[in-house]
């Protein structure tokens, strides 16, 4: 993959996104439909392509695009709600201040009714108005918890009776959602197509004129036939659109259904966000979304990003005494803590906001925009052709060249009645308008939505939840995947398998007898307090551990060493925290014992070589503090490298002692106090094993074969990263493990931007990387022309997820901040699921191309046949009703059949789809022209010589039989050609056809309906019953398209796309100008 990018800079070398193109962005800027990515696209750019599109039915065409007006309305509403909330708080603060000045004391709060000591209105008022005075009058957070019958340590009881009482008293954490559009709304929108409206008017005119000229017995046939055909098109279109909308509703429901942990009955349990009730105790960590309104019970370095509700981007620090109020929908920016829920559902500002806005579907996709461009171009051609047909037919009619069934001129000046003239003109206009219906592929851009809706539903089964529609198709263009290691490439099932404590290797690592009691006491004290995990007893009495995989591994190890988690935390308290973050690679806590005159222990835990670098002593097996000499330090570093080379994650645990008088006593000073991280005493270094996922090596190999380079970006030690990369196949051998192929984050970030761009192409593994390093790598790769997919799970990964072309967050370990910034959530955190997303992305593009090939073949053949026939004979072989049926086959039914093909392994045998590769490839042009030329030739021969070829001279209705055979053969050609379209570049077009039940079903329905139309609906469809010989002729004409497709696929095509020649000519003209 490095070839095309040698001697960078962008603009001089080949752009992967452009496929085979060698031109830069500027030459495409004159096309409003050329948008390579709609992620973060300017509103003006999105508005421009909408204005340029030729649209017959705007409500349907733009249904699954970003509603620019609604986005503005949403922002306006949010601003109003923020202003309203701030005004209420300002008024309350003013009132409180006035009361203090005047010496007025507020009356004590009235107790609530029912099962709780506080009522719904009172608690909502306190929470929504951030009324700290009223909260203090209730006894603060502790007093409020008593009124809500909540234990601040153990939470609510959580049984069914308790939950139902709380929901009855305070409401549930749901909000009324706007009802989805009804089926009749879709019928109404489908009927707003301009051409269909004209056809309805024409049908009414034809009905009225027909009854007047031919009587009611026969005069209603033409008008009712057209009206029924239009109605059928509307109903089938509406049904298809309605089914899509239901799929999107289900997917949107999945996106909103966040799962989180709450404390109930002394245990942490995972529940849906919808099941939260007032009184719940919820632990919150960095990156979590505040799931309901509440107050902070306890927190350490706890800060919240309230920009989603207040509009102000500054981070707000919270504490339980002065500023405890938490608003639903905000994000935890730093620290960790626990909250008491005080408001849920529509009793929160976030709930009110959610109830007032409807869910959108993430805006249009680049493929949708490009297909609107294709549809506009084809539509202009179709309108031109329809205009020519209309002009020719009218001229021929009034010059007496149009004959009736008996061969006499239809119009004779001064003789033909006005009603007859008007009726004939209505029929001519009807044919011209129907040609527009067939020619303008209104359903082409919507086929993207159809295949995306199908793909998104199926991807859920493959453990991928799509948050943005465009990401699904963009994944098909991905040229590189920057993947995390832990939990994505590995199982995330961590166990401590090696330990160095007291400068000796413990074997087994959990052998507590080898450590003196005082040593073990300090070790487990640090582990019990310096963690975001928890230890509790299950209902069956078994010890259970919660937290991140690393935390769980260390807690389980400490339990085996004899740690009593609850006892340790009750004997001492944590007075200050430094939360672990991926920049510092470590976390610390200051712990003070409840014993009088005791000192404070500052415990640190983190990346082994980083914590070790701050250690000046170590504690030996005799509990003595020994100086950390250079020799000892080197020995430990060798041990760390040895463990890392065996793919173990190395974590060091250290502490230091501080005198109590050195700790700030004032709460505000304490919050700003920086934990000392120097002069540490090393206690232990542990090696944690996290095995590779079983199928990850095959998945990496599959990506490499598909032209997608997998890069590992991890915060782990460079040696650990190297060992895992070799195990996964990202590095082929030890010889590849050298710079810049294997690089440390700090080395990469030290380079200039030009140097980073130069070496980014070669990087396969980046160890000890920070989230900012990941962002820098993504930016460099994008500048080199790559389409970049990035996986991330932490809050600090959000910028890289946002910057990447496709952000993939982790469903299990990912924070809500990471998920919100991502485009796709990998529900099982598994790299194999990422590869499946690549397959689905390529499938979307391939399915759209199949549909385009099929639809354009019908377009070209139908237009040419009718135009040539109209100009040469003044009549068209395909009537309005017949063309509407053809339109239904190629538009709605064709899209359903071809746009829902499941992905195949064949898709991973080719390079990524360039985002500027032409939608209609040379292979498609070849297939399309071969089939269209065949259909046009055969059907025009039948049109002009059909009566003699089919030996119909003795038939009482030769002209009608001939036209019926033409119509029947034309439709059967499309049925056979639908199989050809399944495999544009493969000989075996039947491979896997029986697995696609929808395709088989649509083919069967089309065949049955065609038989019904020809044999039983002749009066309406202008057909006549055919004998078995004519059916065999029709089937024979259609079946030739199969061997013809095989022959056509043997014709070589040039590698340079046809569209490229036009671009070259345009570029030359621009240059010469």
Active site residues: 484
Tell the burial category of 275 from Cβ atoms under 10 Å away from its Cβ (0-12, 13-18, 19+). middle
DSSP character at residue 892: I
H or E segment to which residue 1010 belongs = helix 997-1016
The rounded distance, in Å, linking the Cα atoms of 419 and 409 is 16
* 572-581 and 600-607 strand pairing: unpaired
The rounded distance, in Å, linking the Cα atoms of 396 and 746 is 80
| 139-168 as b/e: b if 16+ CB within 10 A | eebeebbebbebbbeebbbbeeebbebbbe
Q: Among candidates 221, 251, 79, 35, which has minimal Cα distance to 1020?
A: 221
Could you give the angle at the alpha carbon of 772 between the alpha carbons of 791 and 633, nearest 5°? 105
DSSP character at residue 461: H
Which residues are within 8 A (CB) of 165 and not within 5 positions of it... i.e. 6 or more apart?
Answer: 115
3-state secondary structure of 531: coil
The rounded distance, in Å, linking the Cα atoms of 50 and 369 is 9
What length does the chain have? 1073
CA 685 from chain centre, in angstroms, equals 41
Question: Residues 120, 171: contact at Cβ < 8 Å?
Answer: yes
The rounded distance, in Å, linking the Cα atoms of 633 and 466 is 48
Q: Which residues pair with 806 in a beta bridge?
A: 789
* 709-713 and 806-810 strand pairing: unpaired
Tell the burial category of 922 from Cβ atoms under 10 Å away from its Cβ (0-12, 13-18, 19+). middle
The rounded distance, in Å, linking the Cα atoms of 1017 and 881 is 11
* 765-767 and 742-744 strand pairing: parallel
Half-sphere exposure of 594 (CA within 13 A, CB side): 7
Question: Residues 649, 494: contact at Cβ < 8 Å?
Answer: yes
The rounded distance, in Å, linking the Cα atoms of 164 and 169 is 9
DSSP character at residue 115: T
Q: Among candidates 691, 645, 643, which has minimal Cα distance to 494?
A: 691
Phi, psi angle pair for 613, to nearest 5° = -65, -20
Q: Among candidates 919, 840, 899, 805, which has minimal Cα distance to 367?
A: 919
The rounded distance, in Å, linking the Cα atoms of 757 and 768 is 20
3-state secondary structure of 682: strand
Q: Rounded to a whole number, what is the distance in angstroms from the first to the last CA of the chain?
A: 37
Helices (H), 468-573: 469-474, 517-529, 549-560, 565-571
The rounded distance, in Å, linking the Cα atoms of 591 and 300 is 13
The phi-psi region of residue 215 (left if phi > 0; otherwise alpha if psi is between -120 and 50; otherwise beta) is left
CA 342 from chain centre, in angstroms, equals 33
3-state secondary structure of 732: coil
DSSP character at residue 490: B
Question: Residues 991, 983: contact at Cβ < 8 Å?
Answer: yes
The rounded distance, in Å, linking the Cα atoms of 981 and 977 is 6
């Amino acid at each position: 993959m490095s070839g095309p990018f040698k001697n960078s800079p962008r603009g001089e070398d080949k752009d992967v996104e452009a496929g085979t193109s060698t031109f830069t962005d500027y030459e495409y800027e004159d096309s409003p439909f050329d948008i390579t990515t709609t992620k973060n696209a300017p509103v003006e750019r999105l508005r421009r392509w909408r204005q340029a599109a030729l649209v017959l039915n705007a409500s349907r065409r733009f249904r699954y695009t970003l509603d620019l007006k609604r986005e503005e309305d949403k922002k306006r509403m949010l601003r109003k709600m923020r202003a309203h909330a701030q005004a209420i708080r300002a008024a309350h603060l003013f009132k409180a201040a006035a009361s203090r000045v005047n010496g007025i004391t507020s009356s004590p709060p009235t107790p609530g009714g029912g099962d709780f000591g506080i009522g719904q209105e009172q608690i909502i008022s306190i929470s929504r108005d951030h009324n700290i005075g009223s909260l203090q009058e209730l006894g603060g957070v502790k007093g409020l918890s008593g009124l809500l019958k909540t234990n601040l340590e153990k939470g609510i009881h959580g049984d069914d009776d308790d939950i139902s009482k709380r929901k009855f008293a305070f409401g549930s954490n749901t909000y009324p959602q706007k009802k989805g559009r009804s089926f009749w709304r879709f019928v109404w929108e489908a009927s707003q197509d301009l051409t269909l409206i004209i056809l309805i008017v024409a049908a009414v005119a034809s009905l009225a004129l027909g009854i007047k000229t031919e009587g009611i017995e026969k005069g209603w046939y033409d008008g009712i036939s057209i009206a029924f055909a239009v109605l059928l098109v509307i109903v089938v279109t509406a049904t298809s659109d309605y089914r899509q909308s239901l799929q999107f509703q289900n997917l949107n429901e999945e996106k909103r259904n966040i799962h989180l942990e709450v404390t109930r009955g002394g245990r942490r349990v995972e529940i849906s966000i919808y099941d939260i009730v007032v009184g719940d105790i919820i632990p919150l960590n960095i990156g979590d979304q505040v799931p309901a309104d509440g107050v902070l019970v306890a927190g350490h370095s706890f800060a919240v990003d309230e920009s989603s509700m207040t509009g102000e981007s500054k981070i707000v620090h919270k504490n339980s005494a002065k500023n405890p109020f938490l608003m639903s929908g905000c994000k935890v920016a730093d620290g960790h803590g626990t909250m008491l829920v005080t408001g849920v559902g529509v009793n929160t500002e976030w709930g009110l906001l959610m109830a007032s806005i409807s869910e959108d579907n993430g805006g249009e996709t680049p493929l949708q925009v490009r297909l609107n461009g294709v549809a506009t171009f084809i539509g202009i051609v179709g309108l031109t052709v329809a205009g020519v047909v209309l002009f020719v037919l009218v001229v021929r009619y009034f010059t007496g060249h149009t004959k009736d069934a008996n061969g006499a001129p239809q119009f004779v000046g001064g003789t033909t009645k006005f009603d007859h003239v008007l009726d004939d003109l209505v029929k001519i206009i009807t044919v011209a308008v129907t040609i527009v219906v067939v020619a303008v592929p209104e359903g082409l851009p919507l086929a993207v939505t159809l295949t995306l809706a199908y793909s998104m539903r199926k991807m859920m089964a493959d453990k991928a939840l799509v948050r943005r529609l465009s990401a699904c198709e963009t994944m098909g263009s991905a040229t590189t995947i920057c993947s995390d290691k832990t939990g994505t490439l590995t199982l995330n099932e961590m166990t401590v398998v090696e330990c160095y404590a007291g400068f000796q290797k413990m074997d087994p690592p959990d052998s507590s007898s080898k450590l003196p009691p005082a040593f073990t006491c300090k070790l487990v004290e640090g582990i019990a307090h310096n963690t975001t995990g928890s230890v509790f007893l299950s209902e069956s009495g078994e010890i259970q551990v919660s937290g991140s995989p690393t935390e769980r591994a260390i807690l389980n190890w400490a339990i085996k060493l004899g740690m009593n988690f609850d006892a340790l935390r009750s004997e001492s308290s944590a007075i200050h925290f430094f939360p672990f973050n991926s920049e510092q690679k470590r976390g610390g806590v200051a712990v003070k014992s409840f014993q009088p005159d005791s000192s404070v222990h500052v415990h640190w835990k983190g990346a082994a070589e980083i914590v070790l670098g701050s250690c000046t002593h170590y504690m030996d097996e005799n509990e003595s503090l020994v100086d950390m000499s250079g020799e000892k330090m080197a020995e430990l570093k060798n041990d760390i490298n040895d463990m890392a080379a065996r793919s173990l994650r190395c974590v060091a645990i250290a502490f230091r002692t501080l005198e109590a008088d050195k700790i700030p006593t004032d709460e505000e000073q304490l919050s700003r106090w920086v934990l000392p991280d120097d002069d540490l005493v090393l206690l232990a270094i542990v090696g944690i094993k996290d095995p590779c996922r079983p199928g990850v090596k095959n998945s990496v190999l599959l990506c490499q074969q598909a032209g997608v380079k997998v890069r590992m970006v991890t915060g782990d030690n460079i040696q650990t990263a190297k060992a895992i990369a070799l195990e996964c196949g990202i590095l082929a051998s030890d010889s590849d493990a050298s710079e810049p192929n294997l690089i440390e984050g700090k080395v990469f970030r030290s380079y200039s931007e030009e140097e980073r761009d130069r070496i980014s192409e070669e990087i396969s593994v980046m160890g000890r990387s920070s989230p900012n390093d990941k962002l820098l790598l993504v930016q460099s790769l994008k500048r080199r022309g790559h389409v970049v997919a990035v996986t991330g799970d932490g809050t600090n990964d959000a910028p890289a997820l946002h910057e990447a072309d496709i952000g993939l967050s982790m469903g299990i370990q990912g924070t809500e901040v990471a998920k919100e910034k991502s485009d796709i959530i990998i529900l099982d955190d598994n790299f194999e699921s990422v590869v499946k997303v690549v397959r689905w992305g390529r499938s979307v593009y391939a399915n759209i191309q199949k549909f385009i090939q099929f639809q354009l073949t019908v377009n070209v053949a139908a237009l040419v046949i009718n135009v040539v026939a109209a100009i040469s004979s003044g009549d068209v072989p395909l009537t309005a009703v017949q063309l509407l049926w053809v339109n239904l086959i190629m538009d709605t039914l064709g899209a359903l059949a071809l746009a829902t093909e499941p992905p195949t392994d064949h898709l991973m045998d080719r390079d990524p789809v360039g985002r500027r590769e032409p939608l209609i490839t040379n292979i498609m042009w070849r297939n399309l022209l071969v089939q269209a030329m065949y259909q046009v030739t055969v059907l025009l021969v039948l049109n002009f010589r059909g009566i003699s070829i089919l030996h119909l001279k003795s038939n009482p209705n030769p002209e009608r039989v001939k036209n019926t055979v033409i119509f029947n053969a034309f439709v059967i050609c499309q049925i056979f050609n639908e199989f050809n379209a399944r495999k544009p570049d493969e000989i075996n077009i039947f491979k896997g056809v029986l697995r696609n039940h929808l395709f088989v079903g649509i083919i069967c329905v089309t065949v049955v309906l065609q038989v019904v139309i020809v044999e039983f609906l002749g009066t309406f469809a202008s057909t006549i019953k055919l004998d078995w010989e004519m059916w065999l002729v029709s089937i024979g004409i259609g079946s030739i398209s199969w061997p013809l497709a095989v022959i056509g696929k043997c014709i070589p095509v040039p590698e340079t796309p046809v569209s490229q020649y036009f671009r070259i000519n345009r570029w030359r003209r621009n240059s010469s100008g």
